[in-house]
Structure 1
């Protein structure tokens, strides 16, 4: 994937194209930095957009859910658009019209395919859990065959994807620079809260997550 060229016409950034990124490293980093994506698809001519957890292995984005899910069934047979966005900062300007936000986003087009091999499916689910909670998989009660069979895992390639990034300060008009109001960037971060253990949890030690 070229850093300068969109992989397809529908991924080309038209609005503020200087913010566009098409290299795999940027796309993958944004996918990895977030937990939730929104998947858009059609069922009987109606458009749906559903948020869901995701993870990445190599050049694919993965999602999972119950085998009975209407969304997962539809995705196995049609085109999809996956979007991801991460808010990084509030940009406060001297004019309301120049307020903005620093962000990272990705748009992915293509078709999902099902992961059908049971061993591969199990390894993918392990990668999902380990990506959120390093070292936790080996401590858990193993997934049984009934649970594995009731779970659908889908993946979509990152070959037709584009990223859009704003990481800058305030861009005010020159005549507004002396206006007497605070201007600058307020960074935004995801911070874990105080763990809340179940009353019947056997262990009291809180496991690590990638956010700590």
Structure 2
């Protein structure tokens, strides 16, 4: 795994506020691994679409899955170019002027062509997906049967062409506005786990569920 920064391509180079751009593989992995959801954009004869879907990372690939009948899955599996975006919103930045209000965030954009995961490797890939939801889950649930696996397409997108962009910290006010009698600062936001809600009665709660929160 190459963790070095990659030179940006023409379509990954961050041009708006370029100092926030980051092409380090470690930054990308951290953003992807903190996510359960991505948005995949693709184009077909009906136009351009952007669809939310579950995602997970193994090594140098972002993994996606869906029904064989899904228009998105069929298009992504056809060799078409796709673009995947993952964003974490960390706070609302309130400045002393309306113009300088902003947001703190971590974002990754990944370009490329998806590869179809071979049938014999789908079960292992989906087990890895279960583990990203809750570590230990794949050893407890019923695995996909032959019919379910046959109805599912698993795709992977190489993490070769990407850009990350982040913002952190407080407002960047104009010097002339610093003395205005206006509250300024950051309203932090966080996606946090809450207590698990069981479906039915169980003799014993698995340790990974007990530790979920």
User: TM-score of the superposition, structure 1-length normalised?
Assistant: 0.91
Per-residue CA shift, 1:172-191, capped at 9, x if unaligned? 01111111122111221112
**Structure 2 residues without counterparts, runs of 5 or longer:** none
Q: How many residues align?
A: 209
**Correspondent of 2:111 among 109, 112, 118:** 109
Runs ≥4 residues deviating over 6 A: none
| Corresponding residue number in structure 1 for 2:181 | 180
d(CA) in 1 for partners of 2:29 and 2:148?
Answer: 29
Number of the residue aligned with 1:33: 34
CA contact (8 A) 1:81 1:109 kept: yes
Are residues 44 and 209 of structure 1, via their aligned partners in 2, closer, same or farther at CA, if it must alter by over 3 Å?
farther
Q: Indicate the larger mover: 189-198 or 20-29.
A: 189-198
What is the aligned partner in structure 2 of residue 98 from structure 1?
100
The C-alpha deviation readout for 1:108-156, integer Å capped at 9, x for no partner, is: 11100100132x2111111111012011111111221111111110011
> Cα distance, 1:193 vs. partner?
3.2
Going from structure 1 to structure 2, the CA distance change for 1:4 and 1:96 (only over 3 Å counts) comes to: farther
Compute the displacement of 1:210 (Å).
Answer: 8.6
Q: Secondary structure at the match of 1:9?
A: coil
Cα distance change on mapping 1:91 and 1:203 into 2, 3 Å: farther
Structure 1 counterpart SS, 2:11? helix
C-alpha contact (below 8 Å) 2:196/2:212 kept by paired residues: no
Going from structure 1 to structure 2, the CA distance change for 1:193 and 1:5 (only over 3 Å counts) comes to same
Distance 2:35 2:7 in 1: 25
Q: 1:156 to 1:52 in 2, by over 3 A?
A: same
1:5 is displaced (CA, Å) by 2.8
State the Cα deviation string for residues 38-92 of structure 1 (Å, max 9, x = none): 1111221511110001000011100101111111001112111111111011111
Q: Is the 8 Å Cα contact of residues 134 and 209 (structure 1) preserved in structure 2?
A: no
| 1:74 alignment counterpart | 75
Q: Where in structure 2 are the equivalents of 1:96-175 lying within 5 Å?
A: 96-118=98-120, 120-175=121-176
Secondary structure at 1:91's aligned position in 2?
strand
Instruction: Give the Cα–Cα distance (whole angstroms) in 1 for the partners of residues 168 and 212 of structure 2.
Output: 21
SS class of match (1:38): strand
- Two-structure CA RMSD over aligned residues (Å): 1.9
